[in-house]
């Protein structure tokens, strides 16, 4: 028998982004007593405030800046995993950004795939929150990442994501794994079945959402 879950909504908050229901099939990752199953991949505070994901993964293709991290953490109602570089941004700057993120209240920090194991070891020595290391290829030395101090592996391998997750799970039965779910529920389910514990979800942009709303407004006979 399916469990009944009461739901409460306000009139003004019905229009929100919801993660695909299939994500709730994952086990989740329990961090500091909170179970995380879904993460919204966004730095848009309007999206973050209007999405029902369990957490935020705030990674963006620019040099990380503390003011951006602070703004996202302040705006978010749920835990934030903050990107601190590791690709273009390297060395002590990554460690300093991670320390700042921890002090501001981030639940974890995320480093890019090119991050050296030396930097990961440096992070492990300086911060107490989880270090999420991004994996983009099945050729990654998973053992070296774990030994360096990775707490969670974040798999983002496009069409190979489920395959990479399966390889990690075979080697590490209990290692926490986040992974991108893909564009369809079938893709998400394959990633879950491969062994992912949590799924990152890419929401539509505010521009895409506005487009649909504006079409609706234009189709109204009387808008005044």
Q: Tell me the domain boundaries of the chain.
A: 15-218
* Tokens linked to 109: 């920090």
CA distances from 36 to 19, 87, 210, 212 (A): 13, 26, 29, 30
Share of the chain above pLDDT 70, in %: 96
Of the listed ranges 74-88, 156-170, 206-220, the least confidently predicted one is 206-220
The reported pTM is 0.91
Nearest to 44 by CA among 178, 207, 179, 188: 207
* Tokens linked to 43: 């730095």
Query: Residue 121's Cα: distance from chain center in Å?
Result: 22
Q: Can you give the pLDDT at residue 44?
A: 96
**Structural contact between residues 90 and 117, judged by C-beta atoms closer than 8 angstroms:** no
Query: Can you spell out the DSSP letters for 150-168?
Result: -SEEEE--GGGHHHHHHHH
Q: Can you give the pLDDT at residue 9?
A: 79
**Structural contact between residues 80 and 110, judged by C-beta atoms closer than 8 angstroms:** no
Nearest to 26 by CA among 178, 218, 217, 215: 178
CA distances from 28 to 115, 130, 163 (A): 25, 15, 19
Q: Can you give the pLDDT at residue 168?
A: 98
Query: Predicted confidence band at 4 (pLDDT cuts at 50, 70, 90)?
Result: confident
- State how beta strands 34-36 and 29-31 pair: antiparallel
Instruction: Say what angle helices 117-126 and 92-104 make with each other, to 10 degrees.
Output: 40
Nearest to 134 by CA among 111, 160, 165, 102: 111
Q: Can you give the pLDDT at residue 120?
A: 97
Local structure of 102: helix, strand or coil: helix
Cα–Cα distance, 137 to 103 (Å, whole number): 32
pLDDT tens digits, one per residue of 19-50: 999 999 999 999 999 999 999 999 999 999 99
Domain 15-218 architecture: Alpha-Beta Barrel (3.20)
Query: Predicted confidence band at 5 (pLDDT cuts at 50, 70, 90)?
Result: confident
Helices and strands in the chain: count of H runs, count of E runs: 8, 10
Q: Can you give the pLDDT at residue 215?
A: 83
């Amino acid at each position: 028998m399916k469990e009944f879950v009461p739901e409460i909504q306000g009139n003004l908050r019905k229009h929100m982004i919801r993660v695909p229901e299939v994500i709730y099939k994952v086990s989740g990752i329990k961090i500091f007593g909170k179970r995380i199953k879904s993460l919204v991949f966004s730095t848009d505070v309007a999206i973050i405030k209007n999405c029902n994901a369990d957490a935020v993964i705030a990674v963006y293709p620019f040099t990380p800046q503390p003011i951006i991290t602070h703004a996202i953490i302040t705006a978010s109602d749920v835990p934030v995993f903050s990107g601190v570089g590791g690709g273009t941004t390297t060395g002590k700057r990554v460690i300093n950004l991670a320390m700042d993120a921890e002090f501001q209240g981030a639940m974890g920090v995320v480093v890019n795939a090119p991050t050296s194991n030396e930097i990961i070891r440096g992070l492990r020595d300086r911060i107490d929150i989880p270090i999420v290391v991004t994996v983009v290829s099945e050729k990654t030395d998973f053992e070296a990442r774990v030994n360096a101090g990775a707490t969670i592996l974040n798999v983002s391998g496009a069409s190979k994501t489920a395959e990479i997750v399966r390889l990690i799970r075979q080697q590490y039965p209990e290692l926490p794994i986040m992974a991108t779910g893909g564009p369809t529920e079938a893709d998400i389910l394959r990633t879950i079945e491969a062994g992912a514990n949590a799924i990152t979800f890419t929401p539509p942009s505010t521009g895409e959402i506005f487009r649909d709303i504006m079409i609706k407004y234009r189709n109204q006979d009387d808008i005044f």
